[in-house]
Structure 1
Amino acid sequence: MDRVLAVASQRPVVIFALSSCCMCHAVKTLFEQIGTIPEVYEIDRDPCRREIEMALVKLLNRHPAVPLVFIGGKLIGATDTILTLHLSGRLVDLLNDSGALLPLNRSINN
Structure 2
Amino acid sequence: MRFLLDANLSPLIAACLTEAGHDTKHVRDVDLRRASDEQIMDFAAEHGFVIVSQDTDFTNLLHYRKASGPSLVLLRNLPEVTAAQVSSLILGNLDQFEAALVKGAVVSIVGDRIRVRRLPFQ
User: Quick check: TM above 0.5?
Assistant: no
Higher strand share: 2
Counting helix residues as a fraction of each chain, which structure ranks higher?
Answer: 1
Task: Flag the structure with more relative contact order, 1 or 2, with Cα contacts below 8 A and sequence separation at least 6.
Answer: 1
